[in-house]
Amino acid sequence: YFEAGKSGAWKQVAVPRGMTDQQLLRKMKQQREFIEGLSIETRKVFEEEMEHAKDMARAKGLTVVSPDSRHLDRRIVKKQKEKEKARRRYQDKVEAVKEDIETRAKERDANRQSKTKRG
């Protein structure tokens, strides 16, 4: 991802291993707020620098995640959807197991009663 350097230039920073999407999003938000806090002229310079830096990174074949990037938001939404799916799948399995146990119990009770009637 890119970070605003103190000199006013964008520097490219690799996303640290183990950094969660939430942490990365927080970092990006801080960067966005930093940019929005600048004067209009400085902001224009910053944005031009940013575009240049992004182009250079893309030329190297890197995925660019920047403060104005929708890419990150999409990634987080996708992860949340996957978690939701997994949770739903688990819930369905639990329900199936419960139903299975209940039907077995009913069958067992029915068998017991038929045996007691015979005796």
Query: At 103, is the pLDDT very low, low, confident or very high (cuts 50, 70, 90)?
Result: very high
- Cα→Cα distances 112→65, 100, 108, Å: 66, 18, 6
pLDDT, residue 111, reads: 84
Does 65 have pLDDT greater than 70? no
pLDDT, residue 113, reads: 81
Does 8 have pLDDT greater than 60? no
Does 88 have pLDDT greater than 60? yes
* Pairwise CA distance, residues 14 & 68, whole Å: 17
The pTM is what? 0.33
The better pLDDT of the pair 80, 97 is held by 97
Average pLDDT for residues 35-51, to the nearest whole number?
76
Does 46 have pLDDT greater than 60? yes
Does 1 have pLDDT greater than 60? no
* Pairwise CA distance, residues 22 & 13, whole Å: 17
* Pairwise CA distance, residues 86 & 61, whole Å: 32
Average pLDDT for residues 106-110, to the nearest whole number?
88
